[in-house]
């Protein structure tokens, strides 16, 4: 085809079948030089298989791949790198104890056998400049960087391999919105310098911010690329799901000012919550806390869960003061908590859905210490079905589920102990659009059933769409708290971003105390 020469990457007719599963069927994909191509699709739609094909980890059954018009061999990951393809992984591959400059040299092809400081620094400064980390001293140990800086460093490491096509797989999944902005602007500037970029994300607003065109995957098939500017969110979601999503966010229940207060917090401080917090949650309400990462919302939830000791203040559940010095105390008081990092401490990766679901309420299905497997199964099935999890798959291990279904397990396990308060930190991190809507719907229906729900998220869109009362945190201080009607999405974003700017200004002026 004549089009070959003007395209950086052209993938044609790539299919891959695993046993009875058709992971990819006749997938086509193209990226122009200096273009940002967004790859969208639900988990399991085929995006990651395509990335694996391009990075030489999976050999397709059929199809061709051209780079700059020439057919390329992608049989090994070395061959893929040699062809100019580089993948920035979600997991960081940097070595914490080494300096930024040293990390940049790790795994670089054709690196010198011995280095001196001068060479290291020259090599590093150039690369850091290109990813917007020019201010960074290349001698800093990597473990002192922020998460966003680590992500940018990861991109710089890939740049060091002089790639012409860079694949970014959810680079902002662990970043707050403000930090994600830095990554996005780096992506744009790399594209302007001529690098072609394939950008995979679950955050639709990023697609509009950064991409030139969009390719959508569904059930192992790819759509023809479309100009981003000609699309809107609804159209993208419809193409991803193959159906209308309806509204992403469920309708809140009727406002009832006289609804009893479920959870009342007065003057609470805790590690990470610097100024006393007053907050009350009425029956049926969802409270949303937002801010940049580490700004205090997460710490407040942890303290309420009994995981961090509260330093001062009172917490009342339905009018009764509660004091929980441990997570078990919190659970006994009826407080369910889902941490932002479900892989780390939200799920048991290697165990079945059933064993995961029953983990907090084993006592309820046992007598004299003997488990009743039948009761366990019945109760687990009840939790599973109310969270739209397939009850026939209770026996499969949670590690095999998509991010969305894992999150449903992490939240759903608490239903079995009839909690009075549900605290959820980052309810939809790494969760695809379809599962997101289900989780929102579920949180809303739990609130309607009378549970007090407090959600903390760095995704302001989510907080704005889901919650009845919204508070923003900045540097450990609850800086604003108001019912949803008092906010617009714009004022909310501004509140979060503005305090972020104020923070960096003051810190650079004042310096470290």
Contact 215, 38 (CB under 8 A): yes
Least distance in Å: CB of 44 to other proteins?
Answer: 4
How far is the C-alpha of 466 from the C-alpha of 475, rounded, in Å? 24
Question: To the nearest whole angstrom, how small is the minimum distance from the Cβ of residue 1 to other proteins?
Answer: 28
Task: Tell me how far, at minimum, the Cβ of 414 lies from other proteins, in Å.
Answer: 9
Q: What is the smallest separation between the CB atom of 324 and other proteins, expressed in angstroms?
A: 11
When the beta carbons of 4 and 364 are compared against other proteins, the nearer one is 364
Pick between residue 46 and residue 132 the one whose CB is nearest to other proteins.
46
As measured in angstroms, the least distance from the Cβ of 182 to other proteins is 30
Structure tokens at 498: 């503005």
Task: Identify which of residues 236 and 435 has a Cβ nearer to other proteins in the complex.
Answer: 435
CB of 256 vs other proteins, minimal distance in Å: 32
Which residues are registered as beta bridge partners of 198? 37, 167
Q: What is the layout of strands, in order, in the sheet containing 335-338?
A: 335-338, 421-425, 452-456, 286-290, 469-474, 477-483
Angle at 187 between CA 182 and CA 188, to 5 degrees: 100
Q: Which is nearer to other proteins, 353 or 463 (CB)?
A: 353
CB of 251 to other proteins, least distance (A): 22
Smallest distance from other proteins to CB 93, Å: 15
For tokens 């999890």, the residue is 389
Contacts of 350 (CB under 8 A, 6+ apart): 397, 398, 399
Residues that bind other proteins (CB under 8 A): 18-19, 21-23, 42-46, 48-49, 219-220, 307, 327-328, 330-332, 337, 339, 344-351, 355, 358-360, 362-363, 366, 369-371, 373, 390, 396-397, 399-402, 404-405, 413, 432, 434-435, 438
Integer Cα distance of 466 and 32 in angstroms:
38
70: left (phi over 0), alpha (psi -120 to 50) or beta: beta
State how beta strands 196-200 and 36-40 pair: parallel
Q: How far apart are CA 238 and CA 410, in angstroms?
A: 27
Which is nearer to other proteins, 283 or 342 (by Cβ)? 342
In the complex with other proteins, which residue's Cβ is closer, 89 or 108?
Answer: 89
Give me the least distance between CB of 75 and other proteins, in Å please. Answer: 19
Sign of the Cα pseudo-torsion (252, 244, 20, 23, in order): negative
Structure tokens at 354: 């059933």
Angle at 421 between CA 415 and CA 424, to 5 degrees: 80
Question: Any bridge partners for residue 480, and if so which?
Answer: 472
Q: Which residues pair with 71 in a beta bridge?
A: 66
Our CB check for other proteins shows the closer of 213 and 413 to be 413
Cβ 357 to other proteins shortest distance, Å: 11
Q: Could you give the CA distance from residue 463 to residue 458 in angstroms, rounded to a whole number?
A: 8
CB of 236 to other proteins, least distance (A): 17
Query: 21 or 510, CB closer to other proteins?
Result: 21
Distance CA 280, CA 445 (A): 19
In 3D space, the residue among 223, 284, 179, 291 whose CA is nearest the CA of residue 30 turns out to be 223
Q: Counting beta carbons within 10 angstroms of the beta carbon of residue 369, is it exposed (0 to 12), middle (13 to 18) or buried (19 or more)? A: exposed
365 vs 467, beta carbon nearer other proteins: 365
Q: Which is nearer to other proteins, 326 or 507 (CB)?
A: 326
HSE-CB at 216 with a 13 A cutoff on CA atoms is 19
Closest CB to other proteins among 401 and 470?
401
Q: How far is the CB of 311 from other proteins (least distance, A)?
A: 21
- Residue found by looking up tokens 């061959």 in the block: 79
* Residue nearer to other proteins on the CB measure, 387 or 473: 387
Farthest CA pair distance, the chain: 76
């Amino acid at each position: 085809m004549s089009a070959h020469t003007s395209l950086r990457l052209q993938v044609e007719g790539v299919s891959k079948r695993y046993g009875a599963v058709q992971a990819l069927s006749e997938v086509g994909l193209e990226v122009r030089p200096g273009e940002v191509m967004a790859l969208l699709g639900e988990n399991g739609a085929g995006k990651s298989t395509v990335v694996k094909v391009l990075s030489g980890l999976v050999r397709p059954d059929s199809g061709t791949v051209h780079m700059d018009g020439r057919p390329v061999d992608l049989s090994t990951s070395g061959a893929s790198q040699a062809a100019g393809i580089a993948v920035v992984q979600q997991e960081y591959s940097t070595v914490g104890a080494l300096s930024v400059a040293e990390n940049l040299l790790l795994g670089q092809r054709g690196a010198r056998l011995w280095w001196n400081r001068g060479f290291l620094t020259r090599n590093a400064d150039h690369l850091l400049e290109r990813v917007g980390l020019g201010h960074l001293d290349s001698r800093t140990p990597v473990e002192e960087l922020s998460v966003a800086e680590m992500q940018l460093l990861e991109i710089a490491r890939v740049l060091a391999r002089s790639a012409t096509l860079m694949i970014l797989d959810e680079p902002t999944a662990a970043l707050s919105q403000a930090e994600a902005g830095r990554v996005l602007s780096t992506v744009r500037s790399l594209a302007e310098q001529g690098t072609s970029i394939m950008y995979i994300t679950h955050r639709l607003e990023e697609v509009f911010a950064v991409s030139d065109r969009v390719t959508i995957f569904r059930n192992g098939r790819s759509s023809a690329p479309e100009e981003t500017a000609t699309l809107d969110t609804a159209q993208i979601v419809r193409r991803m799901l193959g159906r209308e999503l309806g509204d992403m966010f469920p309708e809140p229940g009727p406002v009832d000012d006289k609804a009893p207060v479920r959870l009342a917090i007065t003057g609470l401080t805790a590690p990470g919550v610097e100024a006393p917090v007053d907050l009350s949650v009425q029956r049926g309400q969802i409270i949303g806390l937002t801010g940049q990462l580490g700004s205090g919302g997460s710490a407040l939830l942890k303290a309420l869960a009994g995981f961090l000791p509260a330093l001062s203040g009172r917490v009342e559940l339905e009018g009764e003061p509660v004091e929980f010095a441990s997570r078990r105390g919190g659970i006994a008081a009826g407080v369910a908590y889902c941490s932002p990092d479900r892989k780390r401490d939200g799920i048991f990766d290697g165990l079945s859905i059933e064993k995961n679901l029953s983990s907090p309420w084993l006592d309820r299905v046992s007598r004299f210490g003997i488990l009743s497997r039948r009761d366990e199964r019945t109760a687990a099935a009840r939790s599973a079905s109310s969270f739209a999890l397939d009850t026939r798959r209770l026996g499969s291990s949670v590690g095999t589920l998509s991010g969305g279904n894992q999150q449903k397990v992490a939240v759903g396990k608490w239903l079995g102990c009839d909690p009075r308060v549900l605290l959820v930190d980052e309810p939809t991190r790494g969760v695809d659009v379809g599962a997101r809507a289900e989780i929102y719907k579920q949180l809303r229906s739990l609130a309607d059933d009378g549970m007090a729900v407090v959600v903390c998220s760095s995704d302001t869109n989510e907080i704005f769409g889901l919650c009845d009362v919204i508070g923003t945190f900045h540097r450990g201080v609850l800086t604003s708290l108001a019912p949803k009607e008092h906010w617009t999405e714009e004022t909310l974003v501004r509140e979060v971003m503005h305090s972020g700017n104020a923070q960096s200004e003051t810190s650079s002026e004042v310096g470290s105390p």
